[in-house]
Structure 1
Amino acid sequence: MKFKHISKNQVFKNDVITVFEETLALPNDNVVTWTFTGKKEVVAIIAELENEIFFVKQYRPAIKKELIEIPAGLVEKGEDILDAAKREFEEEIGYRANKWEKICTYYNSAGINAGQYHLFYATDLIKTQQSLDENEFLEVVKIPFNDINIFSFEDSKTMLALSYLKIKKEGVL
């Protein structure tokens, strides 16, 4: 299949998101306009201490409800993804981890978003200080691993991370 990229225009940009419209010629020669967001990278961390998993409970304006999810945040320009994961984890949860394992890199919704998610597993935690951004409001929640039902969560990065941890604990990985 051959797609031809004809033109691309930025239609919106702020600190978090850039929106593009691109004109494409499809393999059947139809010409369409595709709207998508640019490449912002996100780090997300699943962390465990004494068989409890750390989550954050926060309000998500796009869906008008609170979600419980693993801590995550944007990678700053020029920042190493592991450094970003360490920074976000300590800011949101108030712990540092001595052991880090990269789980995977994936696209959350490749049809409309060019950004990558980098998923990490953090252990051997040391209590420090939570340091939320001025406009960041969240509650730290710890849930015993054995009490977790993966499908009770509504956030894909959290479900993916919990699936990984379940497989890891069962000795499959």
Structure 2
Amino acid sequence: MSKKNKQSKSAKLEKAKASKTKPSKETEPRKPASATEETLISSKVVYQGPLFRVLHDKLLEPGGKPSERDVIRHNGSVVILAVDKSKSKKDPWIVMEHQYRHAAKQYLWELPAGKLDAGEEPLVGAKRELEEETGYRAKKWKPLVEYYGSPGFLGESMKVFLAEGLVAGDAHPEDDEDIEFRLVKLSDIVKMIEKGAIKDGKTLCSVLLYARRIGKKHKK
């Protein structure tokens, strides 16, 4: 083989090798998003209501995977575990509500709760909701837990507050609220949960966490 042919063949091999190691701009993969943060490409409001809005989002999930999601955005809600320890510290009484829920098509036993106004401080909202729905005010407040009820499509954060030192008053619920409330022993609520009589997520989460803490405290 001539020297000229050898050089030509060598050049072709180098060119083929380069084409394998350097993909063209059309086939080059998109730069991945952060391993811990998403990259929002677009967000469109497809429904706007008085309580929430529905968005259709296009994004890169953490790690770079493309995705499209329909998400309900909400200002957030507060839940109040209002406790009366005046008769027993080991088995206190809890303020419970009983009301009809159209989405569940049944009456549910629940803790007092409500939505936050835009920009409203959660503690301010919790105090307002407790007094509006039950008439009770509390002398002592502290955060208990925060959670997301259905994070697959619902962006509503629910902040639970423990309210102690209750002072009774007159309830003044909103026009569309028809709420019956009463004080129920913590032990009785736990029994209701075990029997499946309580199906409300915020009540299950909050009561069982509180019962666990009370149990640990009195074992010491």
Whether TM-score is above 0.5 comes out as yes
Query: Amino acid of the residue matched to residue 128 of structure 1?
Result: G
Query: Amino acid of the residue matched to residue 124 of structure 1?
Result: G
Q: Which of the pair is proportionally richer in strand?
A: 1
Aligned equivalent of 2:121, options 57, 70, 80: 80
Moved over 6 A (4+): 27-30
| Identical aligned residues as a percent | 29
Residue in structure 2 matched with residue 15 of structure 1 by the alignment:
50
Quick one: structure 1 residues 97 and 34, their matched pair in 2 at CA, closer, same or farther if it must change by over 3 Å?
same
Q: Which of the pair is proportionally richer in helix?
A: 2
Residue in structure 2 matched with residue 114 of structure 1 by the alignment:
155
Quick one: structure 1 residues 26 and 130, their matched pair in 2 at CA, closer, same or farther if it must change by over 3 Å?
closer
Deviation per residue, 1:63-84 (Å, 9 max, x gap): 2111100000011122211010
Quick one: structure 1 residues 21 and 139, their matched pair in 2 at CA, closer, same or farther if it must change by over 3 Å?
same
Structure 2 CA distance, aligned partners of 1:45 and 1:85?
A: 6
Matches within 5 A, 1:47-126: 47-49=82-84, 50=87, 51-126=92-167
The number of aligned residues is 173
Structure 1 residue 164 and structure 2 residue 204: aligned? no
Residue in structure 2 matched with residue 128 of structure 1 by the alignment:
169
Structure 1: 5+ residue stretches without partners: none
- Displacement of 1:38 in angstroms is 0.7
Deviation per residue, 1:67-126 (Å, 9 max, x gap): 100000011122211010000001111110001111122222211111211101111100
Residue in structure 2 matched with residue 37 of structure 1 by the alignment:
72
- Displacement of 1:33 in angstroms is 2.8
Give the structure, 1 or 2, with the largest relative contact order (CA under 8 Å, sep 6 or more). 1
Aligned equivalent of 1:144, options 185, 188, 208: 185
